[in-house]
Structure 1
Amino acid sequence: MKRLNIAFTGFVIIALFFSCGKKKTNYVSVSNPTEDVFTSTKDIPDNHFLGDQKCKECHTSEFKTWEGSHHDKAMQEVSDSTVLGNFDNAKFKSQGVTSHFFKKDKDYYVNTEGPDGKNHDYKVEYVFGIKPLQQYIVKFPNGHYQCLRTAWDTEKKKWFDLYPDFKVVHSEWLHWSRGGLNWNTMCSDCHSTNVRKNYDKASHSYDTKYTLINVSCEACHGPGKTHVERVNTLGEGYKVSDDLKMTVGTDSKDLVDQCARCHMRREHITSSFNFEGTMLDHYFPQLLEQNLYHADGQILDEVYVYGSFVQSKMYHNGVACTDCHNPHSLELKFKGNNLCAQCHVPETYDTPSHHFHEKGTQSAQCINCHMTGKHYMGNDFRRDHSFRIPRPDLSLKYGTPNACTQCHEDKDDAWASEQFEKLYGKPKNKHFSELLAPGMAGTENGLDALLELAHDTIYPEIARASAVKNMSNYITPANINTLISFLDDDSPLVRGATLDVLGGTESKDYLNYYMPLLKDKKRTVRIKAFFALASLDEIQIPEAYKEAYKKVEKEFNTSLIATSDFVGGRIKEANYHLKKGNLAAAIAGYESALEIDNINNMARTNLANLYYRNGDFKKAEDAFKTIIEQEPEFGQTYYSYALLLGEQNRHEEAITQMELAIKYVPDNIRFYYNLSLLYDKANNFKKAEETAIKGLKIAPQNDNLLYVLAYIYSKTNQLQKAINISENLVNLYPNNQSYVNFYNQLRVQLNQTQ
């Protein structure tokens, strides 16, 4: 895995200088808001949670079903009854590291590699989970608790490496002793009840607290104090109201949202979860983007369940988690196809005339065609909950997986597509993945596909929001007004995604369009609007929005605190300072990010560019050199380094770096263009010509390369060649007046020499 295996962003903020006309907004009335959308971020006192035994007094059957479940055993203190792994002087070796598991008196220990690269004894304090694996947590200084990378396979009864094919150096953030497997921030919020992380940025320390160690009744239903008081007061007259969450009468989508907070990959914006507001007042879900989801929206990285389930028709037809899973035991309500038969008539679907496989076999199981999955954490198989029809035709176009060839491993996608069409005909309904895939894959019609998806409300909310988010790869003056229009969308996910895209720009032309979202009903959207408005000072905020602005400022600052132990959180704060025009604070923010992850070269790349922008060429050069040392095959760094050297007129050195950029990224046309210019500055016109020609072999109609080649020919008195190329340039781009002027100048110059 490459730490920089993503599209290079160059400078931190994209500079856009567009303008647009007036536009109507239809949010909460500015002068007379219909409701107060602001909720508190206050922690809930421990004594508001009464514990599972109190719940058991009235809810015996539910307690009995919950007892022993994954929620009950989500986290436990170490004891002979809770530890499932072999600590009888067992040894396990992976990636050159030997871990020794043993007992000392009544305590459990592991001797393994620590953050200094040397082996140490660590006392195990807690256990995580019961099946298919159990993890072990040790205590570090400053309140840090770390989850071991070596886990116990509770089914095969053996130790195993969670990431056996991934070499992690002890100094990396991903090492078990550092941020990637830190319990306080990566695990605690969802494995215990009423967690307060209590992180102190200055000392990089935690004082994390929880009320109940596991996922208790009150983790889902909320603190029981008010509920019990009302029951005792009202007796038989009691009726469930807002004193309990996730009750029988909860709307299906609300229920999914409430489950989602622990079953989705998300951005966390509050310091603790206090049951006020909705999911989007505390978290913003990860949208469907490259490296996390496949181009058609199927699960790829560890994204959990929510992001796939809300893509499904089932979710949009009122199906909730509890329709398939017992909410207390978490087990499936029925076995095999009987689960699906709750809604789908067996005579129609559980028959060879539908699935074309022998009835009763694994191949005839609904989930194996409509809920494919993959293993995470080494042995934990999780299914994609989008319940999609296999689409081998999309696999042929975009390289996405499909259930057919995942089962028929000896066949290819072409065979699968042919068989599918033979058995079922061509897909009858247009699935959103047909529009998302070309957009995520960056095809020629990708933007048009994303726009169609984003506009059509027949498609899932998360798919539409993802379409907007993926437009960041296509943002141009031509589509900026279209993006602005999505700020008025009914979906808070779409509004949030739009702000993520537009908020990354430096243009001040659109700030008035962000103002109404300071009063948005969802805290996540308000915070994103505040960030987008960062280039304004409070004095520039219109009077009608000042009160909301001050409230959201507090929410925004809380979100920065809540994520300050993440590299991403510190980068967000640095980018905020950058938008405010405080370059020194932005640089300090990026330096702070590297303090907790010194091998995060995405952060170091942006920091190098900020040094460059600040005129601190020495620090910029040192940063680029460090990245090259750590990621020697990442071509974009050589490119940026070459630009820095060229800025200092160190042309020969710049040429060397740009040639390395082309070596590792041979298809990037921009590299050829810049290398040709560097050769020109070094007065090596022959190499400048050769470089431009090489680039044109890849992209024959690239205007930058055509222009630079014509320029080189004109400079070396090869006027006819220059005229021929510039004439071609004008024919290709007739509306570019600069090219037309250049062509006319060359013709005049040729006439004067004859």
Structure 2
Amino acid sequence: MYSTSLLFRSLAAGVLFVFFTSFFSCNEKKPSYVDAKDGDVFVSDHLIPDSNFLGDKVCAECHKGESEEWEGSHHDKAMQVADKNTVIGNFNDTTFTSQDVKSRFFTKDNGFYVNTEGPDGEYHDYKIEYTFGLTPLQQYIVKFPNGHYQCLRTAWDTEKNKWFDLYPDFKVIHSEWLHWSRGGLNWNNMCSDCHSTNVRKNYDQATHSYNTKYAIINVNCEACHGPGKNHVNQVKELGEQYKSTESMWMTSKTPPKTLVDQCARCHMRREQYSSHFNFEGTTLDHYFPQLLTNNLYHPDGQILDEVYVYGSFVQSKMYQNDVTCTDCHNAHSLKLKFEGNALCLQCHEKPKYDVSSHHFHEIDSEGAKCINCHMDGKFYMGNDYRRDHSFRIPRPDQSLKYGTPNACVSCHDDKTNEWALDHFKKNYGEPDSNHFSDLLAPGIAGETNGYESLLALAHDTIYPNIARASAINNMANYYSADAIENMLQFLQDDSPLVRGATLDVLGEITNVDYINYFLPLLKDEKRSVRVKAFFALGNLNSQQVPPEYKEIYNKVKKEFETHLRVTSDFAGGRAKRGSFFLKQGDVPNAIKSYESALEIDNQNNIIRTNLANLYYRNGQLKESEEAFKTVISQEPEFGQTYYSYALLLGEQNRNEEAIEQMELAIKYMPDNIRFYYNLSLLYDKVNNLKKAETTIVKGLEISPQNGDLLYVLAYIYQKGGQINKARNIAKQLIELYPNNRQYMALLNGLSGA
């Protein structure tokens, strides 16, 4: 399934300018690097002919039992042509209204139709071309011009037999990216790759059009096992000598973690790197997963937004101990292999775990079920309950500290986290703090020791690689020269997830100080990591590339261009191209790329803010101001925009206007110390020293030992002739920061006054 939350829009933006001032491995084993002269080490973009996919009827000739299990499954019904046999919803001239949009469902000329609001804000009749999914909801797909196919926001609840809004509390206007007729619910880029077999998106940015193709409409046998033509031919040729591992994916002999990797491509939220999936290489040669970050996961790593299963499962001890998808799920019907606790008792001892002395609930009650304590979940898309697959012990202590969910109060919704923690301690003692979340959560939450916690997590290879990679990803919030130096070592980590995450952070460096650290990763064994390395080297032009890297550089450049092309129907993909232009010093083309990104998602204010800063950098002050005003009109309570706008006005000596905007910045973000610093300087520019002083004092109430604020206060006192006060502040600065030469010079200057 796909995600259409506001959070995804921020994720799709994908780019915030990060300016560093100046970032080896935990494992002694070094990552594998490819040989630039060996063409076979690169996973190709070879197209598999549709004729190589023979269809489920051919598979059933030899695999009747498996085929019968698959028939009627979610994979089988992933997508179907809309007709009287496949449409479940009520199209008997019925209406449904949500967020002031009225949709009427009806039939005409043996077809199924909806009359609803279109991309122009007007109502039109749309024919239903395809059904999407089976239970607990079925969606419907409409054909639009230029090869676009769109999924209706109104879906059919197959359990309650009624129409419902997938996002009932979320108002979307027709011009927004998240409107059903636009990018957020576009089948071609959000859904097709995982709901059909052998998909080629075929997007053309110049015309904003698709020519999407697939071999088979649904997720058939060959979507998982690979094209059947060679397999059938080999079986005929070799007979009993044939081995399934010779030509097929996901067999009974596939190693556990390899199987998870092969399932992952459709069961994880990810960014695409290849033009299409062709069963070559591994998942990281085609996609890179979204890591455990704010807005996608809770600070402890539990699911928050629609992230599917992979990112949770690889956090778990189950995964670390070679439990795989098919240990719990029938690979063909997708149903659980056993009901109730019998599923978990395949591995866990019944006398130890399936007893009241372990779970403290009545036997056979809901509270006694393993999954209700260790697989808490939440509803997505209105009625689709999905469980967190990290299999964690409830931690009400973390809920109290970080606002994370726990299964105790999810079930006992009339109780508090304090109650849950008291009962936890009574039954189990103090919570075991040897889980990676005890290091990840402080870093994500921005605690005082947050950076140290993230660094410790990144170093400790006992923890899951996705947690270690996520620690590095979140270290981007702690910019410093030391942080950069500490990160450099992870470029040589044994885990490609960790190497990729490190490149994502360090790749935003805008100077050439670290190119020698990035160049070797052009030879990384995983395509997604190589492409990230190429982006990190964006400061170089081809003439500056060392001779020994020329050949590999040119090869990875093609992979990078493929990545940009395949993501160019997302605002984030276009913004990434803009960021690459910016790294190369090409501001005009960077601006064009960001403007192009806003053509896709006009509400994306991460991109618009970056564009406003680029306009300013390029001397386009009017355009910069208009961009900031647009952001403010769309998000009037976001203080950072007022701050940026105030700086723009201040640079133009429009000081009174700048003061007004900076005051608003403080109103909406009263804890941001930098706002007080800059507002005080603005008051100084208009010679209002009294206001400058009171502003700094307010800032010091929040951060009493802040050197920048104290220095400005000393300056204000000095300028106002209050030398003794200025001298006292300077002495305080020296006591706090005895090695700071600037503060020492201030005191010396005041001593002679």
Fold shared per TM-score above 0.5: yes
* 3-state SS of paired residue (2:87): coil
* 3-state SS of paired residue (1:241): helix
* 3-state SS of paired residue (1:359): coil
**Which range moved further: 131-140 or 426-435?**
426-435
For 1:480, the aligned partner's letter is: I
The separation in 1 between residues aligned to 2:721 and 2:232, in whole angstroms, is 92
Query: Could you list the per-position Cα deviations for residues 130-174 of structure 1 after superposition, in whole angstroms to 9, with x for gaps in the alignment?
Result: 100000000111110000000000000000000001111111100
Structure 1 counterpart of 2:621, from 608, 617, 620: 617
Structure 2 counterpart of 1:471, from 470, 475, 481: 475
Asked if 1:343 corresponds to 2:347, the answer is: yes
User: Does the C-alpha gap of structure 1 residues 651 and 79 become closer, same or farther in structure 2, counting only changes over 3 Å?
Assistant: same
Asked if 1:79 corresponds to 2:83, the answer is: yes
Contact kept in structure 1, 2:373 and 2:393, CA below 8 Å: yes
Corresponding position of 2:214: 210
Corresponding position of 1:442: 446
Contact kept in structure 2, 1:37 and 1:522, CA below 8 Å: no
Aligned pairs for 1:630-645 (under 5 A) are 630-645=634-649
Asked if 1:45 corresponds to 2:57, the answer is: no
Structure 2 counterpart of 1:165, from 166, 169, 185: 169
For 1:436, the aligned partner's letter is: L
The separation in 2 between residues aligned to 1:331 and 1:208, in whole angstroms, is 31
The separation in 2 between residues aligned to 1:203 and 1:683, in whole angstroms, is 55
**Which range moved further: 394-403 or 513-522?**
394-403
For 1:671, the aligned partner's letter is: F
Corresponding position of 2:388: 384
Structure 1 counterpart of 2:300, from 293, 296, 300: 296
User: Does the C-alpha gap of structure 1 residues 180 and 55 become closer, same or farther in structure 2, counting only changes over 3 Å?
Assistant: same
Asked if 1:483 corresponds to 2:487, the answer is: yes
> What is the RMSD of the two structures over their aligned residues, measured on CA atoms?
1.9
The separation in 2 between residues aligned to 1:526 and 1:479, in whole angstroms, is 23
**TM-score normalised per structure 1:** 0.97
Contact kept in structure 1, 2:44 and 2:280, CA below 8 Å: yes
For 1:37, the aligned partner's letter is: V
The separation in 2 between residues aligned to 1:606 and 1:318, in whole angstroms, is 44
User: Does the C-alpha gap of structure 1 residues 723 and 176 become closer, same or farther in structure 2, counting only changes over 3 Å?
Assistant: same
The separation in 2 between residues aligned to 1:256 and 1:58, in whole angstroms, is 26
For 2:396, the aligned partner's letter is: P
Corresponding position of 1:134: 138
CA apart distance, 1:645:
0.4
Aligned pairs for 1:422-437 (under 5 A) are 422-428=426-432, 430-437=434-441
Identity score, percent? 67
Structure 2 counterpart of 1:65, from 51, 64, 69: 69
Aligned pairs for 1:450-599 (under 5 A) are 450-599=454-603
Structure 2 counterpart of 1:201, from 198, 205, 216: 205
For 1:178, the aligned partner's letter is: R
The separation in 2 between residues aligned to 1:87 and 1:611, in whole angstroms, is 50
User: Does the C-alpha gap of structure 1 residues 540 and 242 become closer, same or farther in structure 2, counting only changes over 3 Å?
Assistant: farther
Corresponding position of 2:18: 14
The separation in 1 between residues aligned to 2:9 and 2:49, in whole angstroms, is 44
Aligned pairs for 1:315-354 (under 5 A) are 315-354=319-358
Structure 2 counterpart of 1:54, from 51, 58, 76: 58
Query: Could you list the per-position Cα deviations for residues 485-523 of structure 1 after superposition, in whole angstroms to 9, with x for gaps in the alignment?
Result: 000100000000000000011131111011111111100
For 1:448, the aligned partner's letter is: E
The separation in 1 between residues aligned to 2:448 and 2:294, in whole angstroms, is 17
Structure 2 residue runs of 5 or longer lacking an equivalent are none
Query: Could you list the per-position Cα deviations for residues 287-324 of structure 1 after superposition, in whole angstroms to 9, with x for gaps in the alignment?
Result: 00001000000000000000000000000101000000
**Which range moved further: 116-125 or 276-285?**
116-125
User: Does the C-alpha gap of structure 1 residues 563 and 44 become closer, same or farther in structure 2, counting only changes over 3 Å?
Assistant: same
Higher relative contact order (CA 8 A, sep 6+): 2
Aligned pairs for 1:67-146 (under 5 A) are 67-146=71-150
CA apart distance, 1:6:
7.8
For 2:569, the aligned partner's letter is: D
* 3-state SS of paired residue (1:123): strand
CA apart distance, 1:19:
8.6
The separation in 2 between residues aligned to 1:2 and 1:99, in whole angstroms, is 23
User: Does the C-alpha gap of structure 1 residues 174 and 11 become closer, same or farther in structure 2, counting only changes over 3 Å?
Assistant: closer
Corresponding position of 1:646: 650
The separation in 1 between residues aligned to 2:6 and 2:182, in whole angstroms, is 18
Contact kept in structure 1, 2:43 and 2:280, CA below 8 Å: yes
Contact kept in structure 2, 1:74 and 1:191, CA below 8 Å: yes
The separation in 1 between residues aligned to 2:595 and 2:35, in whole angstroms, is 43
Contact kept in structure 2, 1:27 and 1:516, CA below 8 Å: no
CA apart distance, 1:479:
2.1
User: Does the C-alpha gap of structure 1 residues 406 and 30 become closer, same or farther in structure 2, counting only changes over 3 Å?
Assistant: closer
* 3-state SS of paired residue (1:375): strand
Instruction: Give every structure 1 segment of 4 or more consecutive aligned residues whose post-TM-superposition deviation is greater than 6 Å.
Output: 1-7, 29-35
The separation in 2 between residues aligned to 1:280 and 1:436, in whole angstroms, is 23
Structure 1 counterpart of 2:158, from 154, 160, 163: 154
Asked if 1:308 corresponds to 2:312, the answer is: yes
Aligned pairs for 1:691-730 (under 5 A) are 691-730=695-734
* 3-state SS of paired residue (2:482): coil
Structure 1 counterpart of 2:681, from 668, 677, 681: 677
CA apart distance, 1:539:
1.8
Contact kept in structure 1, 2:503 and 2:533, CA below 8 Å: yes
User: Does the C-alpha gap of structure 1 residues 10 and 500 become closer, same or farther in structure 2, counting only changes over 3 Å?
Assistant: closer
Query: Could you list the per-position Cα deviations for residues 608-667 of structure 1 after superposition, in whole angstroms to 9, with x for gaps in the alignment?
Result: 000011111111001111111111111111111100000001101111111111111111
Contact kept in structure 2, 1:152 and 1:158, CA below 8 Å: yes
Contact kept in structure 2, 1:28 and 1:34, CA below 8 Å: no
The separation in 1 between residues aligned to 2:34 and 2:162, in whole angstroms, is 62
CA apart distance, 1:540:
1.6
Contact kept in structure 2, 1:11 and 1:610, CA below 8 Å: no
Contact kept in structure 2, 1:10 and 1:606, CA below 8 Å: no
The separation in 2 between residues aligned to 1:564 and 1:37, in whole angstroms, is 27
Aligned residue pairs, count: 746
Contact kept in structure 1, 2:639 and 2:666, CA below 8 Å: yes
**TM-score normalised per structure 2:** 0.97
Corresponding position of 1:752: none
**Which range moved further: 230-239 or 711-720?**
230-239
Corresponding position of 1:362: 366
Contact kept in structure 2, 1:608 and 1:619, CA below 8 Å: yes
CA apart distance, 1:340:
0.5
User: Does the C-alpha gap of structure 1 residues 319 and 2 become closer, same or farther in structure 2, counting only changes over 3 Å?
Assistant: closer
Contact kept in structure 1, 2:677 and 2:699, CA below 8 Å: yes
Corresponding position of 2:419: 415
* 3-state SS of paired residue (1:593): helix
Contact kept in structure 2, 1:13 and 1:505, CA below 8 Å: no
The separation in 1 between residues aligned to 2:116 and 2:130, in whole angstroms, is 17
For 1:151, the aligned partner's letter is: A
The separation in 1 between residues aligned to 2:87 and 2:139, in whole angstroms, is 9
Contact kept in structure 2, 1:3 and 1:600, CA below 8 Å: no
For 1:266, the aligned partner's letter is: R
Structure 2 counterpart of 1:734, from 715, 738, 751: 738
* 3-state SS of paired residue (1:478): helix
Structure 1 residue runs of 5 or longer lacking an equivalent are 750-754
Contact kept in structure 2, 1:730 and 1:740, CA below 8 Å: yes
**Which range moved further: 36-45 or 661-670?**
36-45
* 3-state SS of paired residue (1:482): helix
Corresponding position of 2:633: 629
